[in-house]
Chain A
Amino acid sequence: MDITAPTIILTLVWGVAIGCVYILLATGLNLIFGVMKLVNFAHGQLLMLSAFLTWTISVASGMNAYLAIIVSMIVVALLGVGVERLTFRRVLGTDKLNEIFVSLGLIYIFENAAMLIWGPQPKQIVSPFSGMSLALPGVSITYDRIIAVVVVVAALAAFGVLIKKTKIGLAMRATSQRNTTAMLMGINVEKIYMITFAIGAALAAVAGGLYGIIFSFDYQVGAMPTIIAFAIIIMGGLGSIKGAIVGGLLYGIAEQLATLFLGGIWGSAVAFALLIVVLVIRPNGIFGEKGE
């Protein structure tokens, strides 16, 4: 395959669009970590469930796929509340390994429930703009990818406003700094945990809907994005939202370039090699603080 300027531009655009989906997932994961000091390895499975839900809603009711994402977002946020209350809350503050075990149990449950309900065949959400693309000289970009970027920017902006400007956001920031002091200040920490998890799940759900429109997906699709989101967070520094955005864009572009130059199999291996190198040199991430 010869590599021309348009191919590289197209690769970069793809990288940005995919990076945006990862950023959304990473932001949710990051938020949950920042506030609850908990890593939910089953976060990508929420993305997978949301993709299936969006697919089902848009097929069953003929709703516009982008509207269906909103419905699925609400459902997944409620699911997140349930998951937090029934499982993570009970192991919070015990051995850190327990959180990994609970996540693993959730992964098994979500993946196999999805497999039972929707079957093993890959699916793709049909968006109202499928097949249409913006033609620029040399390259053409599908509308869906452009919309994905716009949706992500909008979602992140809304998220930023929520964190920085509202009372709940203030309570979340206080809890993330020190939950015991937050409790003394009259903040209902358990309620904040619940809201945090719901917001994280909702962000994952939006990412899932966009993912399902851009790519085809099956019940196993959640694993890789979780790991990528985790890699992004680690590279960008745990708890840092800006770091996650920079990391996400860098990762999306790097993955697409690796696929372009080295071939598809190398995409994930290169990503992991990067993650491992970063962690070996800086065990707390690039911008990560010492602590925990």
Chain B
Amino acid sequence: MTLKQQLTKLVRSKSFLFMIAVFAVLALLPIFISDNFFLTVLTLITIFSIYAASWNFLANSGQGSLGHALFLGVGGFASAIIGSSIATATANLLGSTQLPVGALSVTIQILSLLLGGLLSAGIGLLIGLACVRLKAWYLAMVTFGFSVIAATLSSQFDAITQGINGFPTTTLVTRGFPFYILVLSFAIVSIAAMYIITKSRMGMAFKAIHGNEPEAKMIGINTAKYKLIAFVISTFFAGIAGGLYAYFIRLIDNSVFSPLNSFTPLIMTVIGGLGTVVGPIIGTVFLVSIQQLLALPSVVDSLRASLGPLFPEVSNVGAPLGFLIIGIILLVIVIFLPKGLVSLPQKSKTMMPRIQKLVKRISSKFKRKKPK
């Protein structure tokens, strides 16, 4: 299939239309609900959608990474540092004391994000080379190990990264709605790009490798090459998500490498639905909503009032309770709904006749009993 054919097929497909509809709604949402908190949460969800989608992309080729925070962090630090240095250099070049504004600043921001993504992909290539021969938990362990080493290195070479105190990002695109639109456009392009790749010939190779690697090799797929390609593409988008995240939180520090950040995209993807386009997005919405809901001041206060006496050792019950709930949900989904929340409508369709039968049986029993 040529690229043109692929694109026309893509534009006509149902899930593509669905995606466009979702994004259109998302772009228009903040106009109707002009709440600052809501916009912040929405931006966060959009950034993490890219991140979760990048993890999902890698898992699609059978590689489960437990160290994706490394690429989030590399992308974040790189974009922040590159962005601020380009901005200062441009200002010097123009002979002005103020940082560039308008279209120029947007260009610089996009450039810094792309460069951050590229650097992350470069490191992804090196790590991928070490990882292509590894399977399942070996790979998980090694990727996890790299993220721990990255955290150590970034605190050791503090002069460059300022990992301990944090590197403050330069504000290039105005915060709030403009930044949200930037994030959203990046998300659309990234997720669509990953979707197109997944549907292409290359994507079929990934799927074959995930299904059964020796068999894939046998039918002539260069498994090492394709696994490496998947690694590089995934880390590129993870790096871009990291760059956006750095600009979003304004101060990027060492904590970005924490294992929690490596586990988050996995949980989001698995809860939503592994190997689907919409899955990671649904999972992200779900996870971020739970966390933000439990961090609301009013919820925190009411939780403290109700559950505080039960757990006297903990000052804020909300955060651990949230993680506990997420853990339970993850277990329940892996065991009972292995295809994620996406498969819930289908699953309920097959479950519906059974439930109806059950209801009928129970109601018929009641009917029989009533005449007595």
Q: Which residues in A have some Cβ–Cβ distance to B below 8 Å?
A: 39, 41, 87, 90-91, 94-102, 104-109, 111-113, 115-121, 223, 227, 230-231, 234, 265-266, 268-269, 272-273, 275-276, 279-280, 283, 292
Alpha-carbon separation in the docked complex, A118 to B142 (Å): 32
Residues of A within 8 A of B335 (CB): 87, 90-91, 102
Residues of B at under 8 Å CB distance from A? 59, 64, 66, 130, 133-138, 140-142, 144-146, 148-149, 152-153, 155-156, 259, 263, 266-267, 270, 274, 311-314, 317, 320-321, 323-324, 326-328, 330-331, 334-335, 338
Partner of B324, one of A102, A109, A269: A109
- The answer on a CB contact under 8 Å between A101 and B266 is yes
In the complex, residue of chain A having the shortest beta-carbon distance to the beta carbon of B329: A105
B interface, by DSSP: helix, strand, loop or mixed?
helix
A275 to B314, CA, bound (A): 36
> Is there an interface contact between B148 and A97, defined as CB atoms closer than 8 Å?
no
Chain A residues with CB under 8 A of B259 = 223
Known: A41-B140, A116-B324. 11 other contacts (CB 8 A): A39-B136, A98-B334, A100-B136, A104-B327, A109-B327, A112-B323, A116-B317, A116-B321, A117-B311, A119-B312, A279-B138
| Bound CA–CA A98/B270 (angstroms) | 9
Choose from B66, B130, B155, B312 the contact partner of A100 (Cβ within 8 Å). Answer: B66
Question: Cα distance A94–B130 when bound, in Å?
Answer: 26
Q: In the complex the two chains form, is B141's CB within 8 Å of A119's CB?
A: no
In the complex, chain A residues whose CB is within 8 Å of the CB of B135: 96, 283, 292
- A268 CA to B331 CA in the complex, in Å? 29
A265 to B66, CA, bound (A): 21
A interface, by DSSP: helix, strand, loop or mixed?
Answer: helix
Contact B155 A265 (CB under 8 A): yes
**B313–A118 contact, CB under 8 A?**
yes
Chain B: which residue is nearest A111 at the CB level?
B323
The 7 A-B residue pairs with the shortest CB-CB distance in the complex, in nearest-first order: A119-B313, A108-B327, A272-B145, A105-B330, A109-B327, A105-B331, A269-B152
Query: Which of A95, A109, A266 touches B152 (beta carbons < 8 Å)?
Result: A266
- Distance in Å from the Cβ of A220 to the closest Cβ of chain B? 10
List, in ascending order, chain B residues with CB within 8 A of A108's CB: 263, 323-324, 326-327, 330
Distance, CA A63 to CA B314, complexed state (A): 26
- In the docked arrangement, what's the CA distance between A157 and B153, Å? 41
**Shortest distance between the CB of A204 and any CB in chain B (Å):** 17
Contact A102/B314 with A39-B137, A97-B64, A115-B320 known, Cβ cut-off 8 Å: no
Asked if A109 meets B328 with Cβ closer than 8 Å, knowing A104-B267, A283-B138, the reply is yes
Contact A112 B324 (CB under 8 A): yes
Residues of A within 8 A of B274 (CB): 97
* Alpha-carbon distance A30/B220, docked complex (angstroms): 35
Given known contacts A108-B326, A119-B313, is B152 in contact with A268 (CB within 8 Å)?
Answer: yes
Given A107-B327, A269-B148, A283-B334 contact (CB < 8 Å)? no
| CA distance in complex: A115, B270 (Å) | 25
Question: Measured between alpha carbons, how far is A28 from B135 in the docked complex, in Å?
Answer: 22
CB distance from B127 to the nearest CB of A (A): 9
Nearest A residue to B145, CB-CB: A272
Interchain CB contact under 8 A, B331 and A109: yes
Measured between beta carbons, the chain A residues less than 8 angstroms from B334 are 91, 98, 101-102, 105
Q: Do the beta carbons of A87 and B313 come within 8 Å of each other?
A: no
Q: Chain B contacts of A120 at CB under 8 A?
A: 313-314
A118, chain B: closest CB distance, angstroms:
6
B152 to chain A, nearest CB (A): 4
A112 is contacted by which of B149, B321, B338 (Cβ under 8 Å)?
B321
Are A112 and B327 CB-contacts (below 8 A) given A101-B270, A272-B148, A292-B135?
Answer: yes
Q: Do A275 and B142 have beta carbons less than 8 Å apart? A: yes
Residues on the B chain within 8 Å of A41, using CB: 137, 140
Alpha-carbon distance between A91 and B331 when the two chains are bound, in angstroms: 10
Closest chain A residue to B150, Cβ basis: A269
Note all chain B residues with C-beta closer than 8 A to A269: 148-149, 152-153
Cα distance A266–B86 in the bound complex, in angstroms: 33
Interface pairs (10), CB distance under 8 Å: A97-B59, A100-B64, A100-B137, A104-B266, A104-B327, A119-B311, A268-B148, A268-B152, A273-B149, A279-B130
- CB neighbours of B311 from chain A (8 A): 116-117, 119
Chain B nearest CB from A59 CB (Å) reads: 13
- Alpha-carbon distance A283/B134, docked complex (angstroms): 6
- How many whole Å from A99's CB to the nearest CB in chain B? 8
Whole-angstrom distance between the alpha carbons of A39 and B64 in the complex?
A: 14
Cα A95 to Cα B137 in complex, Å, equals 12
Inter-chain contact B314/A119, CB cutoff 8 Å: yes
On chain B, the residues within 8 Å of A265 by CB distance are 152, 155-156
Q: Inside 8 A of A116's CB, which chain B residues have their CB?
A: 311, 313-314, 317, 320-321, 324
- A95 and B334 alpha carbons, distance in the complex (Å): 11
Interface centre among A117, A119, A276 (most CB of B within 10 A): A276
**Contact present for A276 and B313 (CB under 8 Å):** no
Q: Are B331 and A87 in contact (CB under 8 A)?
A: yes
Q: Quick one: which of A39, A41, A94, A116 has the most chain B CB within 10 A?
A: A116
**Shortest CB distance B203–A (Å):** 18
Closest to B141 in A: A230
The CA of A95 and the CA of B274, in the complex, are separated in Å by 12
Q: A81 CB to closest chain B CB, in angstroms? A: 17
Q: Bound state CA distance, A279 and B139, in angstroms?
A: 9
Contacts of A276 in B (CB 8 A): 130, 142, 145-146
Nearest chain A CB to B370's CB is how many angstroms away? Answer: 39
B134 interface neighbour in A94, A100, A119, A279, Cβ under 8 Å = A279
Q: Which residue of B lies closest to A104 (CB)?
A: B263
Of chain B, the residue at the smallest CB distance from A220 is: B259
Known: A87-B331, A87-B335, A101-B266. A96 touches B136 (CB 8 A): yes
The distance from the CB of A91 to the nearest CB of chain B, in whole angstroms, is: 6
Specify which chain B residues have a CB less than 8 angstroms from the CB of A118 in the assembled complex: 313
Which residue on chain A has the smallest CB distance to residue B152? A269
What is the CA–CA distance of A102 and B140 in the complex, to the nearest angstrom?
A: 14
